[in-house]
């Protein structure tokens, strides 16, 4: 037991980052689950990483705005590519996403052979650590999350596939930098999985509440046990999701 880290001041920015990530990932995760394209977030994040490496090769500052643009642009191209493949090769869409993931990951390794600085930037992008989040990073992420939600939630049935992939590319690129790829995957899939039996409205409420509880519990546990926060939050989210899943089955 260790009470030194149990300080709202230390844990609050991470918790807020978690809420922002959940805000978009809960509704998008439901769609991802429905379409059966679970690994799309890994693929999009890796392609965004290619953008970062390319920006590094072009001599852009790895922490600057230009690198962000490059990451989002690469993710958008991947989103548009996946829209196209879904239209033409729908039965094998998940396999195509898997292939995109390994190709992007290994393309990164090949490009990095001559640029170790790109490696640092790539690590920053994919392994964002929730405790290092500062308030200054939260504002742009919040702005993007609000725009994504305003577009997606009211009009999700009328919007085409292209819009989904574009919004998804934006959300994943920003959230991966805040909390890292493991937490993005967990926030996307676990709440959606736990509430899949419920209809859209109730599912959203249960998933948001469960997700927030998971982040709070995980951060507190990581402080008490002095363990890496991101990893503990993933397990807390899984625990809460299991509980919600059992409860919703009883209700249904």
Partner 1 sequence: MNQAKLFLAVCLLCATTSGVARSEDRVDVFACEPEWAALAEEIGGDRVEVFAATTGQQDVHYIQARPSLIARYRQAELVICTGADLEAGWLPLLARQAGNRRVAPGQPGLLLAAEVVPMLEVPVSVDRAGGDIHPYGNPHIQLDPHNIARVAKVLAMRLIEIDAASRAHYQSRLQDFETRWETAVTGWEARGAALSGMGIVVHHRSWVYLEQWLGLDELGSLEPKPGIDPSASYLAELLAGLEGEDLQLIIRSAYQSDRASKWLASRAGVPAVVVPQTVGAVPGADDLFSWFDTILDRLGASGR
Binding site for partner 1 (CB under 8 A): 1-7, 10-11, 13, 59, 109, 112-117, 119-120, 123, 129-132, 134, 219, 222-223, 226-231
226: left (phi over 0), alpha (psi -120 to 50) or beta: left
* Residues contacting residue 170 through CB under 8 Å, at least 6 positions apart: 72, 75, 76, 144, 148
Task: Provide the 3-class DSSP secondary structure of residue 52.
Answer: helix
CB 196 → partner 1: shortest distance, Å? 32
Rounded least distance, CB 207 to partner 1, Å: 26
DSSP per-residue letters across 188-241: HHHHHHHTTTS-HHHHHHHHHHHHHHHHHHHHHHHHHHT--HHHHHHHHHHHHH
Closer CB to partner 1, residue 48 or residue 220? Answer: 220
Would you say 96 or 111 has its CB closer to partner 1? 111
Beta carbon nearer to partner 1, 7 or 90: 7
Q: Measured from the CB atom, is 27 or 230 closer to partner 1?
A: 230
Residue 216 Cα distances to 146, 190, 241, 248, angstroms = 22, 15, 14, 21
- Whether residue 70 contacts residue 49, with contact meaning beta carbons closer than 8 Å, is answered with no
Residue with tokens 């676990």: 190
Which residue, 91 or 134, is less far from partner 1 as judged by CB? 134
Nearer to partner 1, 11 or 40 (CB): 11
CA–CA separation, 98 and 37 (whole Å)? 9
- Least Å distance between CB 51 and partner 1? 18
- Least separation, in Å, of the C-beta of 52 and partner 1? 15
Residue 169 to residues 90, 185, 205: CA-CA distances in angstroms? Answer: 19, 14, 24
83 vs 137, which CB is nearer to partner 1?
A: 137
CB of 60 to partner 1, least distance (A): 11
- Minimum separation from the CB atom of position 101 to partner 1 (A): 20
Output the smallest distance, CB 176 to partner 1, in A.
Answer: 16
């Amino acid at each position: 037991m260790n009470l030194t880290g149990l300080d709202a001041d230390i844990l609050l920015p991470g918790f807020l980052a978690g809420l922002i990530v959940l805000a978009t990932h809960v509704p998008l995760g439901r769609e991802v689950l429905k379409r059966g394209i679970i690994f799309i977030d890994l693929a999009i994040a890796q392609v965004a990483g290619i953008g970062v490496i390319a920006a590094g090769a072009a001599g852009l500052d790895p922490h600057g705005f230009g690198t962000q643009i490059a990451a989002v642009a690469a993710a958008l191209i991947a989103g548009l590519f996946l829209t196209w493949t879904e239209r033409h090769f729908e039965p094998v869409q998940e396999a195509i996403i898997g292939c995109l993931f390994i190709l992007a990951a290994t393309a990164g390794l090949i490009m990095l052979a001559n640029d170790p600085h790109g490696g640092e930037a790539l690590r920053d992008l994919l392994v964002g650590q929730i405790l290092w989040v500062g308030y200054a990073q939260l504002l742009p992420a919040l702005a993007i999350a609000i725009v994504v939600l305003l577009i997606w939630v009211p009009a999700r049935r009328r919007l085409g596939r292209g819009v989904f992939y574009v919004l998804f590319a934006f959300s994943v690129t920003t959230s991966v930098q805040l909390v890292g790829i493991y937490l993005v995957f967990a926030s996307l899939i676990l709440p959606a999985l736990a509430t899949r039996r419920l209809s859209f409205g109730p599912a959203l409420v249960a998933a948001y509440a469960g997700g927030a509880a998971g982040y709070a519990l995980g951060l507190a546990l990581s402080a008490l046990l002095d363990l890496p926060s991101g990893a503990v939050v993933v397990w807390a989210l899984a625990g809460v999701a299991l509980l919600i899943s059992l409860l919703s089955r009883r209700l249904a």
